[in-house]
Amino acid sequence: MQSSFLSIENLGKRFNNANILENVSFSLEKGESMLIQGKSGCGKTTLLRCIALLEAIDRGRIIFNERVVSQAGHLDRANSRLEIGMVFQQLYLWSHMTVLENVALPLWLRNGKRKKLADEVAKHQLAQLGIEDKANEYPNQLSGGQRQRAAFARALVHSPQLLLLDEITANLDPETAYKVVGIVEKIIEAGTSVIWVTHSELPSAIWSYVLRFGDRTWLKEKYN
């Protein structure tokens, strides 16, 4: 039997003796996408951080690319972090660095690429997202939509197999949010697996699954 690309098995997470996530299980095949919906505070972002290996779990395990990368008290970040990209709600762009430097940074730190080569790859990624002309500007000189594209470029620059998105349209106006959905749709069409957490309603046609969180219960619906 073929293993799933991503498998979450009976995942549990506690903070200060409170159960944030309890017995969460689902799987995703390579190239599939998932939208996770739920009210604020129900554990959506915590789940995403666990999948990104930014948080240890207390129970269960996470299997990624046929490797157990997280189980109670243990994280195996070697190699897996190179295969997972994440865009945070706060974006976390470095204000003292140009857009190009922000996007190239993961290549310097994770891949050990020389600056010239890293810059070339970063410029290509910026061009893919239509903001190559902003390469030498700083984040505070960009519009909200341009900052969002810069964050996407940074997350995609090392060609991750899985892209995690945390409430990325929450602070955007409707027109800009619509454009961001279009970007995500193209990323999915290119074959990257995507998990997007949100409390908003988003178009269902682009998702393989919709997972609804609330009061530690969830429902998985299959699309396509």
List, in sequence order, every residue forming a beta bridge with 211; answer none if it has no partner.
36, 220
**DSSP codes joined into one string, 90-115:** T----TTS-HHHHHHHHIIIII---H
| Helix 99-106 vs helix 144-156: crossing angle, to nearest 10 | 30
Q: Determine the Cα–Cα distance for residues 153 and 148; give it in Å rounded to an integer.
A: 9
pLDDT of residue 193: 93
pLDDT at 204: 61
| pLDDT recorded at residue 60 | 96
Alpha-carbon distances, residue 189 vs 31, 33, 118, 149, 158 (angstroms): 8, 10, 25, 17, 18
Residue 74, pLDDT score: 86
Tell me, what's the pLDDT at 215? 41
What pLDDT is stored for residue 101 in this prediction?
95
Q: What is the spatial distance between Cα 169 and Cα 87, in angstroms, rounded to a whole number?
A: 11
Could you tell me the CA-to-CA distances from 115 to 79, 100, 110, 138, 165 in Å, in that order? 21, 11, 13, 18, 27
Instruction: With residue 173 as reference, give the H or E element that holds it.
Output: none
**pLDDT 10s digit of each residue in the chain, 224 long?**
456 899 999 999 998 888 888 889 999 999 999 888 877 777 888 999 999 999 999 999 999 999 999 998 788 877 676 689 999 888 889 999 999 999 999 888 776 668 888 899 999 999 989 999 999 999 999 998 899 899 999 999 988 999 999 988 887 788 888 888 888 888 888 999 999 988 776 656 667 777 776 543 444 444 44
Domains and CATH numbers, the chain: 6-222 (3.40.50.300)
Contact 35, 209 (CB under 8 A): yes
> Nearest 5°: CA angle at 78, between 27 and 36?
30
Residue with tokens 């945390």: 166
CB 64 within 8 Å of CB 162: yes
